[in-house]
Amino acid sequence: MRQDDLYINKIDWITILIYIALVTMGWFNIYAAVYDEQAAKSIFDFSINSGKQLVWIGTAILLITIIMVADYRLFDNLSMILFGFFLFILLLTPFFGKEINGQRAWFEIGFFRLQPAEFAKFATALALAKFMESPTFDLSKTKFQMRALGIIALPVALIMLQPDTGTAMVYSAFGIMLFREGMPQRYYVLALSFVAISLLSLGIENNLYLAAGVAVIIIGLILIGKKSWQRIAVLSVLGLFVVAYSYSLDYVVSKLPDHQQNRIMVLFNPDLDPLGVGWNVTQSKIAIGSGGFMGKGYLEGTQTKFDFVPEQHTDFIFCTLGEEFGWIGSAVVIGLFMALLIRLVFLAERQKTRFSRIYGYCVMSILLFHFTINIAMTIGLFPVVGIPLPFFSYGGSSLWSFTILLFIFIKLDSHRIQLLGRH
């Protein structure tokens, strides 16, 4: 009994309150997204998505209860088994999954649809935590870097078979956790430069400007630094490489299938294809942009109510919020996410075991990635990638997987004292 008291008292209620706030706001926004004045259906009506979401929320509470009453050691002990299990499921998905929009990403059981790739996220997080918890695991060494990346690469490879590029991309979020755990800085500098150069080369119409810019920077670096032949040679080769890369990227993009090419190019010019690929982004921006400072009021959003934004109850749920609650509403939600993410950093840092800390960072990383990419894509800062906004978007798989992901960490955090004793 004493132990139980202890653990209830240690639960981090701040995180739970933010979770409740986000899920509740999400539910109201899902109702707004499917709201039809003429049909006049209640938010509880099970024939519409808000009613169904209520079922997902109810079952999510059940999952939370199971996680909270389960033995905390279970997650540690079962982590590799769970990982193995989900890899197996992912292996089966491309063969037995139901085909939707050219992807086999869903399992259908009765009227129930599950997306295994969503659940594989927490299993991968647990596996990574387990794998990296050993004190000898040192990310500054190439051997361990390769092992960690290998763990991540397994589910990614299987998900690409479905193929579900959006969900697979989410696994790159583990890079954030690896950063905290000591992955050398140079990889990130390299990766960020890579992304920056890619964006610049795609965004700038004429690569000659980019080449000129690169030349100016390289010459500048040569002039201000030590003028050894070796350094000059390295910098020159680097500059040539960047220019060559930007040209080859344009070439590769031009060889991509049209719809993928459009998804990328629309980011730079949404008017390129206003009725095709540009439609989502354009309509999404119109919906959010028309919300103004205060928003149009709950259930008053014409763009969301009248279906101008596709996928508005799932991946584009942020449109409903932006239109009906304006900049203020958007700021509240972004503020809540920011608070949650910072809180998770804080919680992870206070863990006494590497296992819990790594898992905590995995949770934070995945949520940060989803939050950033999802909102950035609705306002045209990122290409359209089909990933949901955590706790907000409609859908059982996504709500359950985020709930499991988060509450395993809340459970682990509440037992941080006991976990210390084990090692």
Partner 1 sequence: MNNPRPAILVAVIVLIAGVLLTKLFMIQVADDSFLKRAERNAIQRVVDHPYRGLVYDRNDKLLVYNNPVFDLMIIPKEFQVRDTARFCQLFKIEKEELIDKYQAARKYSWVKPSPLLKAISNTEFGRIQDFLIDYPGLFVMTRSVRAYPQASAANALGYIGEISGNQLKGDSSKYYRQGDYVGLAGLERYYENDLRGRKGVKYKMVNVRGIDKGSFKGGEYDTLSLAGKNVQSTIDLDLQLYGEKLMAGKRGSVVAIEPKTGEILSMISAPTYDPNLLAGSRFGKNYGNLVMDETMPLFNRPIMAMYPPGSIFKVVQSLIGLQEGILQTNTVFSCNQALVKCHPHPNPTNLFGAIKYSCNPYYHQAYRKMINREVSSNTFKDTKIGLDQWRESVMKFGLGQPLGIDMNNEKGGSIPSSNLYNRIYGEGRWKYSTIYSLSIGQGEMMVTPLQMANLAAIFANKGWYYPPHLVKTIDGERSNIPEKFRTKVEVGVDAHHFDMIQEAMGEALMGTANRAIIKDIAIAGKTGTAQNPGGADHSVFVAFAPKDDPQIAIAVYVENSGFGGRAAASTASLMIEKYLRGHITRPALEDYVLAGKFLY
Burial label, 421 (beta-carbon count in 10 A; 0-12, 13-18, 19+): exposed
Amino acid (1-letter code) at residue 330: S
Nearest approach in angstroms of CB 36 to partner 1 is 8
Going from the C-alpha of 17 to that of each of 336, 343, 395, 405, the distances in angstroms are: 10, 12, 21, 16
Nearest approach in angstroms of CB 365 to partner 1 is 9
Nearest approach in angstroms of CB 335 to partner 1 is 7
Sign of the C-alpha dihedral computed for residues 308, 311, 314 and 319 taken in this order: negative
Rounded CA separation 336/343 (Å): 10
Sign of the C-alpha dihedral computed for residues 164, 167, 173 and 175 taken in this order: negative
Nearest approach in angstroms of CB 38 to partner 1 is 7
Region binding partner 1 by CB under 8 A among candidate stretches 35-43, 206-214, 244-252, 397-405: 35-43
Residue showing tokens 């000898």: 136
The correct pick among 303, 314, 353, 401 for binding partner 1 (CB under 8 A) is 303
Rounded CA separation 239/228 (Å): 17
Choice between 79 and 280, CB closer to partner 1 = 280
CB-based contacts of 322, cutoff 8 Å, min separation 6: 287, 288, 289, 291, 295, 329, 330, 378
Choice between 53 and 378, CB closer to partner 1 = 378
The correct pick among 199, 327, 385, 418 for binding partner 1 (CB under 8 A) is 327
Sign of the C-alpha dihedral computed for residues 9, 13, 19 and 20 taken in this order: positive
Dihedrals phi, psi of 351, to nearest 5 degrees: -65, 145
Q: Which residues in 273-292 contact partner 1 (CB under 8 A)? A: 283, 285-292
Nearest approach in angstroms of CB 141 to partner 1 is 18
Quick one: CA torsion of 109, 110, 114, 116, rounded to 10 degrees?
Answer: 10
CB-based contacts of 408, cutoff 8 Å, min separation 6: 67, 75, 122, 126, 359, 363
Strands 112-114, 103-109: pairing is antiparallel
Nearest approach in angstroms of CB 371 to partner 1 is 8
Rounded CA separation 290/283 (Å): 10
Produce one character per residue of 333-343: b if its CB has 16 or more CB atoms within 10 Å, e if not. Answer: beebbeebbee
Choice between 120 and 277, CB closer to partner 1 = 277
Nearest approach in angstroms of CB 218 to partner 1 is 27
Q: Which residues in 334-393 contact partner 1 (CB under 8 A)? A: 334-335, 337-338, 341-342, 345, 348-349, 364, 368, 371-372, 375-376, 379, 381
Contact 357, 399 (CB under 8 A): no
Choice between 242 and 344, CB closer to partner 1 = 344
Choice between 89 and 368, CB closer to partner 1 = 368
Nearest approach in angstroms of CB 155 to partner 1 is 23
Nearest approach in angstroms of CB 72 to partner 1 is 24
The correct pick among 10, 41, 147, 180 for binding partner 1 (CB under 8 A) is 180
Q: Is 176 in the site for partner 1 (CB under 8 A)?
A: yes
Q: Which residues in 304-323 contact partner 1 (CB under 8 A)? A: 305-308, 322-323
| Bridge partners (DSSP) listed for residue 104 | 99
The size of the interface with partner 1 (CB under 8 A), counted in residues, is: 46
Choice between 337 and 407, CB closer to partner 1 = 337
Choice between 149 and 376, CB closer to partner 1 = 376
- Cis peptide bond N-terminal to 163, omega within 30: yes
Nearest approach in angstroms of CB 300 to partner 1 is 9
Choice between 57 and 412, CB closer to partner 1 = 412
Nearest approach in angstroms of CB 150 to partner 1 is 23
Angle between helical axes of 185-203 and 229-255 (0-180°, round to 10): 50
Choice between 291 and 396, CB closer to partner 1 = 291
Choice between 160 and 342, CB closer to partner 1 = 342
Choice between 41 and 113, CB closer to partner 1 = 41
Q: Is 115 in the site for partner 1 (CB under 8 A)?
A: no
E strands in 78-148: 98-100, 103-109, 112-114
Binding footprint of partner 1 on the chain (CB under 8 A): 36-38, 176, 179-180, 182, 283, 285-293, 302-303, 305-308, 322-323, 326-327, 330-331, 334-335, 337-338, 341-342, 345, 348-349, 364, 368, 371-372, 375-376, 379, 381
